Amino acid sequence: MDKLLRHTPTEVAERKALSINPAKTCQPIGAMYAALGIHGCLPHSHGSQGCCAYHRSMLTRHYKEPVSAATSSFTEGSSVFGGQSNLLQAINNIFTVYEPDVIAVHTTCLSETIGDDVPQIVDKAKKDGKVPDNKYVVSASTPSYVGSHVTGFANMVRGMIKDFAEPTGKKNGKVNIIPGFVEPSDMEEVKRLAELMKVKTIVMPDTSGVLNGPLTGEFHMFPEGGVTVDELKDSANSRGTLALGEWASAEGARYLDTEYKVPCTVLPLPIGLNNTDRFVDTLRRLGGVSVPETILHERGQLVDLISDYHQYFYGKKVALVGDPDQLIALTEFLVSIDMQPVHIVTGTQGKTFYKRIEEITKDAPFEPNVKEHGDMFLLHQWIKNEPVDLIIGNTYCKYMARDEDIPHIRHGFPIIDRVGHQYFPTVGYRGAIRLLEKIVDALLSRLDRDNPVESFELVY
Amino acid sequence: MATKDKLVNFTNRDLNDLKEELLKKYPPKVARKRAKQFMVNEATDGNPPEIQANVRTIPGIITMRGCTYAGCKGVILGPTRDIVNITHGPIGCGFYSWLTRRNQTKPESNDDWNFMPYAFSTDMSEHDIVFGGEKKLKQAIREAYEIFKPKAIAIFATCPVGLIGDDIHAAAREVKQDLNDKGVDINIFGFSCEGYKGVSQSAGHHIANNQIFSHVVGLDDDAKPAKYSINMLGEYNIGGDAFVIEELLNRCGIEINSTFSGNSTYDQFARAHTADLNCIMCHRSINYVAEMMETKFGIPWIKVNFLGVDSTAKSMRKIAQYFGDKELIEKVEEVIAEEMPAVEMALADIKPRTEGKTAMLFVGGSRAHHYQDLFKEMGMRTLAAGYEFAHRDDYEGRRVLGDIKVDADSRNIEELEVEACPTRFKPRKTEEEKAQLEAEGFEFKGYDGIMSDMSTDSLVIDDLNQYEADELVKRFRPDVFCAGIKEKFGIQKMGIPMKQLHSYDSGGPYAGFKGAVNFYKEIDRLVNSRVWSFMKAPWEKNPELSATFVWENN
């Protein structure tokens, strides 16, 4: 048999130390992605230059967009004597050469291990006059050996709020939305729904327009999009914060709540019917508005599609791998259309993951295999033991999808062999419609391929 | 000079002015340093100007470079399929070096090992950083052995591992000894390739090659090399290049005994010392291995280049000349003659559309040189080029090797002390034979560097950064820009097609004659794609209001 992952045995043996085919990556890339969602911001990686190169490469491959970011370029000397002089020099060079409004510094495993105190170094840079007037340096501590890329996103969001948010004592009437580690298209869709509801929002971070920009013949290191510094400052004066996704967004929202009494609500990512309902309903109450007919119409269209194609969803087994926030929402959506996500693996840590999946699947006619801090090698072994009809996960799933001859829908991070994720949302009712389209397409294309001639059907 | 004025007919004075102008943007210290890495290639009696290379990246300046780990695990060991490569560190490094270089491989049968689609890591947590990760590493090696039963396991150290002092070599030795004692034939070795060592990927290449040389090369004496047996060094089989080269040479009767490291295997490394000639493609990444093999085993080396039709033919002839057999020399001519019609046909079709166009290449440590040959064949001119991680010899030629100052960042990369192996050293050619070949114009151990091949009115820039790249593109508006994935979309936003020469985008192979044809077609597609004409909407190109409405004409 001509297999790509031919050495993966069916028997699952316990592993204590070896991670094989990870279902996560490290904090700094999430921090870099979040920082790109600030207008006029150059992310800066405080560590060796390889980290920055890898993160820029991976983000570029995923978004097919320029990703500018700088690095402290540690060498052996800086690793021994500390990275202060590198960072001071970097801050000076960056403001002189690239002229960003903001530098967002995140740490790496190297600078964390040697114990560099970034806020203190930034403070020194300010005192030394290396930070021009009306320019800012924000920071987040993102050691790679803690959590995952999702944690890094959360920490940078918290960092930008912590360093910017500034209460004026006057409420602005807006709702803060922390959209989670999602695509620029998803952030755009969240904004669109809020606009339809006439709720004024501060979406932070906001990578729409930054990582799905047009080709115009001009390169702007700092494109139009992104949450502005003024908005970030103003986030302390909002009427509430909606954090979408516990893992990626709750930290920042809770900070605003405890520090500045901006009440926070943590919701699942608005993927699928129920989760979008929750989002819209919460936004309605927070914003003190009513839901317009347009949104109800979109909801009805989604319900219509579910009913039209329910026969193809019903009882189909799915394997899921990705980030916890994504998986919790996806699982609920799949269960709601009577599909069976039987194998669910996230690489990110967090014991509450088991609890959330259990709640969602408790009335479903199946018991899923669930693993937090797991890897794709384990997922593959599970699939070998109990095959599925569909795999939903990032590009790396294509190897097992091909080996086991199972349709694969690309979702999550990274997607480096297909396009669309940067333009078409999977959140909101419209996003759910797109997800369903992909699911139906995958399942029916498979039927078209496999059905014998006598049962080959024109109509589905 | 306005930023957006395109430079068309420029003199060296314009180029020097441009350089001065670009440097003005930098803080003075940075400008002084960049001035030495940014050259107009003004040759004086064949001696190119001195360039500063292989020096530290400037913090905060957006570089194209990666790190030592990337050079070691990603570049050198990445294309070897049958070694279980375990990254010892937090998950990121292992994840990012997982299948991202497009190194293809072709196991001989479906039973053969192929671990390239897998990523192995110890996924270190905070606990491991605080209390040490050696125990976890040893456990991980044992688990890898239990599941996969490979013939070799390699360990790669990441930044924090070096800091906390985990001894990966001791861990490797201990588990190896233990398994060997139990009768398991397995080789386990480590690479101290922490990302902060050295100033670029180049340090990682060196660390990787040293360890392969120390732990694997020479282990298999039983190999029976063919009549004309060579090793191909510094060829990484991106997009299938090595397959093309191998097929081409096989047709001539030349066997590739081992490749370092495109489509490579552990067994190939182990028998590398049995070949009769070493051919170097990427001078930067591996020239010292050829040197060491010559000293230790008596295998001479030559520089070859299989990118570009002329270079390919020249390299094939050079190999044939080395072996000196009439039969081989004739066979090589025959194979070249067989390949040429397809090349000529492709060029006849493509050249009218590419002739006179311009290119810039900033990539790798030989690629920016080699690819200029292909562009030349298409009638295209290279305006500017430079390397990401090269040393001075890659620019100025090996004659400057003695003048290169060894600094602290190079000193921490181990230089192996190599001497002739008492049992395996065997001179392939006598001194007389070598002298005879040299008298015929044959060049052993030679490389003249990129500068000698470039025109005197072009720019050579080491460690190009994003600001300079943007400015170069704005001033020259080249027809194609070649670099890596990080540079790709910024350049394209400016309306200039960008070809990745690290990973070839989705294309390749580009080596040999067949590869050249692929490359011609690819560049033709890029520079003539209609998409570059779509960037401005019609109303942006012609903003004046016209007097009539369409319906008034009906």
Q: Which of B75, B5, B48, B17 is nearest to B363 (CA)?
A: B75
> What averages of pLDDT result for each successive group of 10 residues across chain A (460 residues)?
92 97 98 98 97 98 98 93 96 98 98 97 98 98 98 98 97 98 98 98 98 96 97 98 98 98 98 98 96 98 98 98 98 98 98 98 97 98 98 98 98 97 98 98 97 96
Q: What is the pLDDT of residues B129-159, one digit of tens each?
A: 999 999 999 999 999 999 999 999 999 999 9
Helix and strand numbers, DSSP H then E, in chain B: 22, 14
pLDDT of residue B552: 62
Q: What is the pLDDT of residues B505-552, one digit of tens each?
A: 999 999 999 999 999 999 999 999 999 999 999 998 877 766 666 666
pLDDT tier for residue B6 given thresholds of 50, 70 and 90 = confident
Test mutation, B29, B62, B201, B494, chain A, max A CBs within 10 A: B62
pLDDT of residue B47: 83
> Among this protein's residues, is B67 annotated catalytic?
yes
pLDDT of residue B225: 81
Contact A118, A87 (CB under 8 A): yes
Test mutation, A97, A116, A216, A372, chain B, max B CBs within 10 A: A97
Residues 40-59 on B with a CB inside 8 Å of A are 56-59
pLDDT of residue B1: 39
Residue B63 token pair: 């570089």
**In degrees, to the nearest 5, what angle opens at C-alpha A174 toward C-alphas A173 and A175?**
130
Contact A153, A325 (CB under 8 A): no
- Is A3 in contact with B110 (Cβ distance < 8 A)? yes
**Alpha-carbon dihedral sign for residues A144, A148, A149, A153:** negative
Residue B245 token pair: 């080269």
Per-residue H/E/C for B160-221 = HHHHHCCCHHHHHHHHHHHHHHCCCCCEEEEECCCCCCCCCHHHHHHHHHHHHHHHCCCCCC
List C-alpha distances in Å: B548 to A94, A412, B545, B551.
Answer: 51, 51, 9, 8
Contact A265, A417 (CB under 8 A): no
Test mutation, B91, B122, B465, chain A, max A CBs within 10 A: B91
Nearest CB among A58, A73, A217 relative to B56 is that of: A73
> Among this protein's residues, is B384 annotated catalytic?
no
**Exposed / middle / buried, residue B191 (Cβ in 10 Å: 0-12, 13-18, 19+):** buried
Q: What is the pLDDT of residues B239-249, one digit of tens each?
A: 999 999 999 99
Say whether pLDDT at B2 is over 50.
no
Cβ-based contacts of B148 with chain A (< 8 Å)? 7
Look up the ipTM and state it: 0.97
Cβ-based contacts of B534 with chain A (< 8 Å)? 215
Say whether pLDDT at B46 is over 90.
no
Structural domains in chain A, CATH included, are: 27-164 (3.40.50.1980), 175-290 (3.40.50.1980), 295-450 (3.40.50.1980)
Residues 345-364 on B with a CB inside 8 Å of A are none
What is d(CA B354, CA B347) in angstroms, rounded to the nearest whole number?
Answer: 10
- Is B62 in contact with A98 (Cβ distance < 8 A)? yes
Contact B500, B485 (CB under 8 A): yes
Q: What is the pLDDT of residues B153-207, one digit of tens each?
A: 999 999 999 999 999 999 999 999 999 999 999 999 999 999 999 999 999 999 9
> Among this protein's residues, is B43 annotated catalytic?
no
Q: Which of A395, A400, A392, A394 is nearest to A412 (CA)?
A: A394
Residues 409-438 on B with a CB inside 8 Å of A are 409, 412
Whether B163 and chain A come into contact, CB under 8 Å, resolves to yes
- Is B143 in contact with A17 (Cβ distance < 8 A)? yes
Q: What is the DSSP letter of B44?
A: B
Give Cα B357 distance to the centre of its chain.
25
> Among this protein's residues, is B273 annotated catalytic?
no
Q: What is the SS3 assignment for A52?
A: helix
Catalytic-role residue among B34, B88, B101, B273: B101
Rounded to 10 degrees, the C-alpha dihedral B398/B401/B402/B406 comes to 180
Residues 186-205 on B with a CB inside 8 Å of A are 195-199
Residues 383-412 on B with a CB inside 8 Å of A are 408-409, 412
Catalytic-role residue among B34, B53, B65, B67: B67
What is d(CA B152, CA B140) in angstroms, rounded to the nearest whole number?
Answer: 14
pLDDT of residue B3: 47
Closest chain B residue to A27 measured between Cα atoms? B92
pLDDT of residue B548: 63
Q: What is the pLDDT of residues B333-368, one digit of tens each?
A: 999 999 999 999 999 999 999 999 999 999 998 999
Closest chain A residue to B126 measured between Cα atoms? A145
Residue B518 token pair: 């692929």
The backbone torsions φ and ψ at residue B385, rounded to the nearest 5 degrees and listed phi first, read: -155, 160
Test mutation, A12, A48, A95, chain B, max B CBs within 10 A: A48
pLDDT of residue B550: 60
Residue B132 token pair: 């040490």
Q: Which of B443, B446, B444, B451 is nearest to B392 (CA)?
A: B451
Whether B471 and chain A come into contact, CB under 8 Å, resolves to no
Cβ-based contacts of B125 with chain A (< 8 Å)? 145-146
- Is A144 in contact with B91 (Cβ distance < 8 A)? yes
Give the DSSP H/E element, type plus range, for residue A341. strand A340-346
- Is A21 in contact with B118 (Cβ distance < 8 A)? yes
B226 CA: distance to closest CA in chain A (Å): 30
A364 CA: distance to closest CA in chain B (Å): 34
The backbone torsions φ and ψ at residue A285, rounded to the nearest 5 degrees and listed phi first, read: -70, -45
pLDDT of residue B224: 86
Closest chain A residue to B489 measured between Cα atoms? A66
Say whether pLDDT at B553 is over 90.
no
Q: Where are the alpha helices (DSSP H) in A290-344?
A: 293-313, 324-336
Residue B240 token pair: 């299938």
- Lowest-confidence pick of A35-39, B2-6, B262-266, B300-304: B2-6
pLDDT of residue A198: 98
What is d(CA A185, CA A423) in angstroms, rounded to the nearest whole number?
Answer: 5
Test mutation, B147, B199, B463, chain A, max A CBs within 10 A: B147
Say whether pLDDT at B222 is over 50.
yes
- Is B148 in contact with A7 (Cβ distance < 8 A)? yes
Say whether pLDDT at B482 is over 60.
yes
Give Cα A270 distance to the centre of its chain.
12
Contacts of B424 by beta carbon, 8 Å cutoff, 6+ apart: B218, B221, B273, B296, B297
What is d(CA B135, CA B171) in angstroms, rounded to the nearest whole number?
Answer: 8
Whether B110 and chain A come into contact, CB under 8 Å, resolves to yes
B120 CA: distance to closest CA in chain A (Å): 5
Cβ-based contacts of B195 with chain A (< 8 Å)? 47-51, 74, 110
Closest chain B residue to A403 measured between Cα atoms? B117
- Is A17 in contact with B139 (Cβ distance < 8 A)? yes
Mean pLDDT, rounded, of chain B: 95
Catalytic-role residue among B53, B65, B70, B469: B70
